Amino acid sequence: MADEYMKVSQAKRDLILVFSRANTILREEGIREGIDRFTAFSYLLFLKLMSELSADRERSGQERQLDIKYCWESFCHKAPEEMAEYINTIVLTQLARKYNHEGDLFKTELKIKNPENLKKIVTKLSSLKLIDTDSDVKGDAFEYFLKNSISVGNDLGEYFTPRHIVRIIIDLIDPLYNETIYDPCCGTGGFLISAIKHIQKKSKNTLTGHDVPETITLWGREISETAEIARMNMIIMGNQHTSISRTDSLGHPIENKFDVILTNFPFSQKTNYGNYYGYPNNDANPVFLKHVINALKPGGRAGIVVPDGLLFDKSNDYMKVRADLLKTCALTAVIQLDPFVFKPYTGQPTSILIFTKGRPTECVWFFDVVNDGFKKTNSKKGRPAIEATDLVLLRTLWPEKSSSPRSFSVDIDAIEKNDYKLTMNTYKTKIKRGVPIATIGTLCDVPIIGSTPSRKTGKYWNGMYPWVKISDMGPMYINDTEEKITGDGIKGSSVKKIPAGTLLFSFKLTIGKVGIAGRELYTNEAIAGLIPRDKTDSTLVKYLYYILPTIDFTPYSQRAAKGYTLNSGSITGIEIPFPAFPIREKIIKACDEKAKKKNMLLKEIKKLDEEINTFLREYTE
């Protein structure tokens, strides 16, 4: 077993070395990094794979997919110029004739123009046996080239969906042999390929592995030129390339057609087709979800990756599509993914939705994937595998949808009362203590949210008015700040005056830092001012100052690309223990005494640090 593991690991390392060398050569060709380079490389990768598969079929007594005249062996030993001419005039012409039924899948000329560079890449690939790699070679290549092109940007939102996430979605959906399967944003075809493999593995049909894909009904759409790669992948898997089209799925609605939909649609895109789905705005996020709902047959199942914003945003379109989902489909599960899942491409928080069309939702099971089996890192080299993974627990709990430290269920009534929010944090258990509970909204006026005057306007800055940001939050009473704004800065922006005695509370990314305004001042947009409703309650501000840092804000917060964040609405809903006035007085008095001791100790530490520095200078200067 160890020898087999070493063999697979070495094969994977060999692949990556070839990809790396090819990437360098294609850069020298002047081909733009990322998808353009991968597309140029993919023709050769396709030819190598098809040549090996054809030879393998011939050895097992089956018909070759590609005649030997057009396979790797026919040109790999030729001189550079002769090789380039042979591939362009003979091989690609045959591929175009055989497979260009809908659109120009195969051009009749390689993007690689320098014969010497072509020879170098062919020689490198010749040293590998790709079908023995125990790997999705095309997926490996696409992932490699995309990871190394992050600097280019990606206006189509095209990211590689990690294969362990693809696999878990397909395992939970469990597509069957006779079902129609659709991916409206198929990219290179990762979901469709994995669905084929899943069905092949489960199928009790007597057809051979090469014939099974021809009997599985797959459909894929992709708006970018990556559709060509998906079509090549379908040819390699069993020649279903004509069911893959380069199409804007949103511009071509589908009704009640598919048994299974699997997709990771591009996030935060714009669309001109929202009206086709009853959404007049150009935000594509809710439209993609509605496209999936509409395209499912009654009884059809979907497993899709969505951005967390689609699950909690209170804008009309987002609330409407969530309500539509819950009323027309049984939402089985919301699986919250770790924010590092899509690193190094993006830190966008995401979740998986699993649902069945045709009956309304009664209860939703939530599961939190804290560890997905890979290191939490931003490295462009990727995320190394680790032992810690919650996906094993997810598979174990899935049949019964049991509760655990990572999971719980929520009835539809609770979800409807929360604006149809589907984020896990919304339903996590709030504090349970043996004292009365109050919310910030019942104790304080609507939070005063600050802002930042334009830094491009010099006359807004270096004034006399304190302007608090999170780094200024340290002492209990804040009277001065590192930066100050001018009267023009106040008039020319949406900053708001914070009265003296107001509690200052940080609520974005660094949640829970507190201070008290020692004078009138202004704050940035990450700090809210909380003014007590009951002006006669002398304990409230100080009590909030001491108690808020002890609260778990997770159930009230939403995930963002850089961490957790609250908003003015969620701040007012924060629950805190709120005992009777005499007890609050006692708590404040005790905390004041301990804070005084803490400050004395901090002063002593500072004094000792100064004495140490003085002592060292006497002997070193």
Q: Is the dihedral of CA 589, 591, 594, 599 positive or negative?
A: negative
Q: Say if residue 356 is exposed, middle or buried (CB neighbours under 10 Å; 0-12, 13-18, 19+).
A: middle
- Both 297 and 237 in one domain: the answer is yes
Strand 258-264, strand 296-307: pairing = parallel
State the Rg of the chain over Cα: 30
Which residue range(s) make up the domain with 555? 439-579
Together in a domain, 534 and 597: no
**304 shares a domain with 237:** yes
Total structural domains within the chain: 4
352 lies in the same domain as 475: no
pLDDT score, position 2: 37
Task: Single out the residue of 346, 178, 355, 173 nearest to residue 268, CA to CA.
Answer: 346
Note whether 285 and 343 are same-domain residues: yes
Q: Which of 139, 172, 198 is the last residue of a domain?
A: 139
Using an 8 Å Cβ cutoff, are 350 and 337 in contact?
A: yes
Structural domain contains residue 432: no
Of 220, 229, 239, whose CA–CA distance to 101 is shortest? 239
* pTM of the predicted model as reported, rounded to 2 decimal places: 0.78
pLDDT in tens, 119-130: 999 998 888 887
253/262 Cα distance (integer angstroms): 16
Residue 406 maps to a domain: yes
For 295-332, write each residue's pLDDT tens digit.
Answer: 999 999 999 999 999 999 988 999 999 999 999 999 99
- Distance, in Å, from the CA atom of 468 to the CA atom of 279, rounded to the nearest integer, reads 40
Q: Is residue 434 part of a domain?
A: no
Whole-number pLDDT of residue 133: 59
Distance of CA 410 to the CA centre of its chain: 24
* Residue 315 three-state SS: coil
Domain of 282: which CATH number?
Answer: 3.40.50.150
Query: Averaged in consecutive runs of 10 residues, what is the pLDDT profile of the chain (621 residues)?
Result: 40 74 86 77 85 86 85 92 92 84 73 91 86 61 60 48 91 92 91 88 58 69 84 74 86 96 92 93 94 97 95 92 97 94 83 97 96 86 86 95 94 94 87 80 93 95 95 93 95 94 93 95 95 90 95 88 84 92 94 93 92 86 71
Q: Specify whether the CB–CB gap between 576 and 437 falls below 8 A.
A: yes
pLDDT, position 451: 95
Distances (CA, A) of 308 to 267, 311, 323, 337, 353: 10, 5, 16, 10, 11
